[in-house]
């Protein structure tokens, strides 16, 4: 595990964008595992700028997102599908047919999870970008999830619902209570993993992930066993290391 501590969110975003741009420059047809949330926003903004400048092309890139809320359609402004289009896909030269995200309104969640798991198996990721939840979750794999899990539907924890309420006008009651997430075993199957974390609210989760026991109680702790895992964290998120 490589830990890079940077001063602030701007430096974290630049580090993550440069990391991903280097992967794409090296392998223009790479599959990228992508994440949502505030953590990758700055990174995505920079990738859009690199692409607009002609420094990088996503024309042959495929993407696989980690997760989606159950019950939100892709055109719902709170869905992760919408987030990805607005913050990345609509502003780069990627073919939308090569962008994948679980369908939160599939008639059968079980079949949708099986379909997505097949896709994850068929598209080896050159890198998986991750944020981290305040409770140590990765994707929507909440504490207690088996470390070898595959794509599945989850009940979100109260902690996660409260943490994500800010994206729903501050109202926890508006946050969907279920989601579909790539499993921990699938996250671990990416060739490289890049986790980014910013702010003091993430300090305990980062400490548990980096220094704690490898345990389902902190899903991100499993990353200690990955052969090529990098954390880029700002000083506040690193404050308990």
User: Which residues bind to ligand GLP, rule: CB under 6 A?
Assistant: 35-39, 66-67, 131-133, 139-140, 160, 164
Q: Which is nearer to ligand GLP, 44 or 50 (CB)?
A: 44
CB of 140 to ligand GLP, least distance (A): 5
Strands (E), the chain: 2-6, 31-34, 62-65, 67-69, 99-100, 127-130, 152-155, 178-181, 193-197, 229-234
Report the residue closest to ligand GLP, judged by CB.
Answer: 131
CB of 212 to ligand GLP, least distance (A): 18
Q: Which is nearer to ligand GLP, 93 or 161 (CB)?
A: 161
Q: Give how far the C-alpha of residue 6 lies from the chain's centroid of Cα atoms, to the nearest Å.
A: 20
Active site residues: 67, 135, 137, 142
Q: How far apart are CA 119 and CA 189, in angstroms?
A: 13
What tokens were used for 108? 């059968």
Rounded to whole angstroms, the maximal C-alpha distance in the chain is: 45
Q: How far apart are CA 36 and CA 221, in angstroms?
A: 20
Q: Which is nearer to ligand GLP, 131 or 185 (CB)?
A: 131
CB of 40 to ligand GLP, least distance (A): 7
Distances (CA, A) of 38 to 13, 76, 133, 152, 215: 11, 18, 11, 23, 26
CB of 53 to ligand GLP, least distance (A): 26
Q: Which is nearer to ligand GLP, 28 or 144 (CB)?
A: 144
The residues that bridge with 154 in the sheet, in sequence order, are: 179
For residues 156 and 140, the answer to whether their CB atoms sit within 8 Å is yes
């Amino acid at each position: 595990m490589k830990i890079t501590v940077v001063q602030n969110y701007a430096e974290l975003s630049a580090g993550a964008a440069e990391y991903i741009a280097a992967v794409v420059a090296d392998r223009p047809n790479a599959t990228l595992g992508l994440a949502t949330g505030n953590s990758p926003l700055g990174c995505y903004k920079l990738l859009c700028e690199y692409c607009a400048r002609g420094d990088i092309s996503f024309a042959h890139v495929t993407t696989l997102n980690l997760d989606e809320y159950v019950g939100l359609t892709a055109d719902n402004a709170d869905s992760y599908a919408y987030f990805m289009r607005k913050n990345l896909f609509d502003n780069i030269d990627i073919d939308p047919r090569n962008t994948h995200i679980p369908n939160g309104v599939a008639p059968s969640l079980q079949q949708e999870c099986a379909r997505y798991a097949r896709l994850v198996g068929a598209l080896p990721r050159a890198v998986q970008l991750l944020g981290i939840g305040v409770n140590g979750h990765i994707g929507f794999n909440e504490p207690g999830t088996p470390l070898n899990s595959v794509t599945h539907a989850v009940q979100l924890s109260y902690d996660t619902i409260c943490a994500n309420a800010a994206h729903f006008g501050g109202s926890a009651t508006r946050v969907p209570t279920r989601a579909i997430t790539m499993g921990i075993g699938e996250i671990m199957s990416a060739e490289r993993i890049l986790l980014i974390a910013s702010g003091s609210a993430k300090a305990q989760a980062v400490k548990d992930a980096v220094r704690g026991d490898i345990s389902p109680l902190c899903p991100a702790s499993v990353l200690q066993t990955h052969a090529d895992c990098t954390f880029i964290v700002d000083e506040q998120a690193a404050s308990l290391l």
